[in-house]
Structure 1
Amino acid sequence: MIGVLVTFTPTEKYDRSALTKIAGELRGPFEGMAGLRFKSFMLDEHGLQARNFYVWDDEEKARAFFTEELVGKVTEVYGAPPTIEYLDIVGFVDNSGT
């Protein structure tokens, strides 16, 4: 498994309600996406950064997803270019089935 942390840092604070709307509108294409185990849309406590966290089955699928075209689209949506970090998941706890 591999994690991907995508961070957007705009010049002005994000509006929580606007990001909630974005998350709702963009949720659909990720549901049932092959290779994607988990995706979250997040906002830091001060509204200064939006962060999306993904858990993928393998690195190849993760890297194939984040194309230049996708980066351009999300830059428009979030109003800032993303920083993309690939993280090796060495352990994982899933309590969703309990």
Structure 2
Amino acid sequence: MGYCKLPSAPDYSKLEQVFIEKDPAINDYLQAMSVANKVAEDKLGEVMQLSWYDRDRDFESPQHASECHMNSAIPGYVDYALYRDASLRVVFEDERFVFFYLKI
């Protein structure tokens, strides 16, 4: 019987990534989202935010997406975005906040 091999890390090769290190640091999720939205619109034009993660509060959207990924190397919010052909990943401060966008 065959088994599916789970990847050891997400494959971001098909999307653009922007890494943001702020000095001083981003205050909170709302500030990070505002900056990420501006970056996404500047890079892609009209976009839809697909998913996000806030490590400060350990929240993700869509909610509970990681529940079925408990033993997986790929968090649910990442899998959700990649499965929906995300165009852009915006990452703050070593994945403190992460946002995925789709160009529409």
- TM-score, normalising length from structure 1? 0.29
Q: Which has the higher helix share?
A: 1
